[in-house]
Amino acid sequence: MPVLWTVQSLGELEIAGVVRADAGVPDVVQALRPDIALVCCDPGNEEQVLGALRRMREHGRHQCDALLVVTRPRPDVVLTIARLGVFSCLVAPVDPGTLRELLGVWLGRWRLAGRKEPDAPLDQEEVNLLVHGPGPTGDRRPPATSTLGLVAMVLHDSTAPLSATEVGRRCNLSSVASRRYLKQLVDRGSAVMTVQYGKTGRPRHLYGWASRLMPG
C-alpha cells in the first residue's frame, strides 16, 4: 500500500492512511477494516476512484467513511462522490492543519453516535450534526470543516441559547476552548452572548445564533 502521508491515531479509532485508487482501495479497506479511509483522486483516474467507492459500499464488505483528496476536481465527479456518501472532499494540495481539523470534526460526529444506545432515537440537533444536512431554520448553515465550524454548527442548530460548557460537551472540547471559539463567533457577528441572572450565584453567559436571536 503506497502511503502518501499518515495521520496519527485519533483516540480509539483506526485510520488507514492515504492510498491511490490504483492501489486497490476496496481491498486495503477490507483487509485493514479502518473507521475512515483517505483516498487520493488524480486527474485521469476519476472513474477508477468512483468504481472503488462503489465497491466499498457493496453488501458484505467492511463499511467505513471515506475522505477524498482530489486534484483538479470536475463538478460531475464531485457530485457523484457526494452521492456515494463520502464524508468530505478536499482539493489538493491539502494543508495538514486543515486535514487534522476536518478529522477532528469527523471524530466528534463518530463519538456522538457512539454515545447513543443502539435503539435510542436521536433528536434533531444530533441528526443535523451527524449528517451535515440543512438546519431546521431558513438561515444559512455554517459548514463544519474546522473546529470553529463545528462550534458554529452546534450553535446554529440549537433551538435555545447554550453555555460554553454545553457547547463544549457537544463538540468534545473543554469549556475554556469552547469559550474561545464562541468569542470568535461573537466578534464576527455570527453569535450573540447574553447574560442570565439567577437569584443566587454567578450569572450565566449564554450563546445563541445571531439571526435567530436578533430581529431582522
C-alpha cell at 141: 448553515
141 and 200 assigned to the same domain: yes
**pLDDT tens profile 89-143:** 888 888 776 777 677 667 767 766 666 566 777 766 567 667 653 333 335 555 5
| Domain limits for position 152 | 124-213
In this structure, the answer to whether residues 208 and 131 fall within a common structural domain is yes
Nearest-angstrom CA–CA distance, 193 and 185: 10
CA gap 38, 15 in Å, rounded: 8
**Cell numbers found for residue 53:** 467507492
Domain boundary among 44, 75, 94: 94
Cell, residue 46: 476519476
Whether residue 93 is preceded by a cis peptide bond, meaning omega within 30 degrees of 0, is yes
Domain co-membership, 129 together with 208: yes
Supply the CATH number for residue 70's domain. Answer: 3.40.50.2300
In total, how many domains does the chain have?
2
Cell 475512515 belongs to which residue?
A: 36
CATH number at 205 reads 1.10.10.10
pTM for the structure as a whole:
0.54
